[in-house]
Amino acid sequence: MDAIEELMNETGLKAADVEEVIVHATRATVSHGGWTYAPAGLTSAQMNLGFCIAMQLSEGEVFVDQMVEQNIARPDLVDLAKRVKAKIFQASTSEVYGDPENGEPPGRTFGETSPGYSCPVCGSPKESFVPIEKSTVIQ
């Protein structure tokens, strides 16, 4: 939501400008909220990534005032929510998975990744990554 809000503030992005939104997220995010939206109740709308992004783009915020029964089947929101695609982002450099598609085999620690390693999605260089302690990772 923060990224959408930032784009709206920085570029003037509006819902009408959007053909499709692709969100790269963790497996947990995709499995818990990345399904194709279909109006099925307020809880379903609140949990759905596409619906929340559509609401942010259409109304400028996603809070209690927007999460009301009359919005869950609103045609403009449903249409836009269906154009949000959530994809699993796996750019891990963990010892378990590595990033073999980008030359980083399993078994290497973060510190052992190649000096020229960069994120395959955004292109950020290795130096811009922030290591996450195992105790803070929720699986």
* 79 and 110 part of one domain: no
Q: Does residue 44 sit within a domain?
A: yes
Integer Cα distance of 21 and 24 in angstroms: 10
pLDDT at 139 > cutoff 60: no
pTM, entire model: 0.66
Predicted confidence band at 86 (pLDDT cuts at 50, 70, 90)?
A: confident
What is the total count of domains within the chain?
2
pLDDT at 90 > cutoff 60: no
> Across the chain, what does the average pLDDT equal?
83
Structure confidence by residue, pLDDT tens digits, 106-115: 777 767 778 8
Q: What is the number of residues in the chain?
A: 139
**Long-range own/partner contacts, residues 16-19 (CB < 8 A, 24 or more apart):** 18/57, 18/80, 18/83, 19/83
Structural contact between residues 77 and 109, judged by C-beta atoms closer than 8 angstroms: no
* 13 and 26 part of one domain: yes
Structure confidence by residue, pLDDT tens digits, 27-57: 778 888 999 999 999 999 999 999 999 999 9
> 37: domain range?
2-88
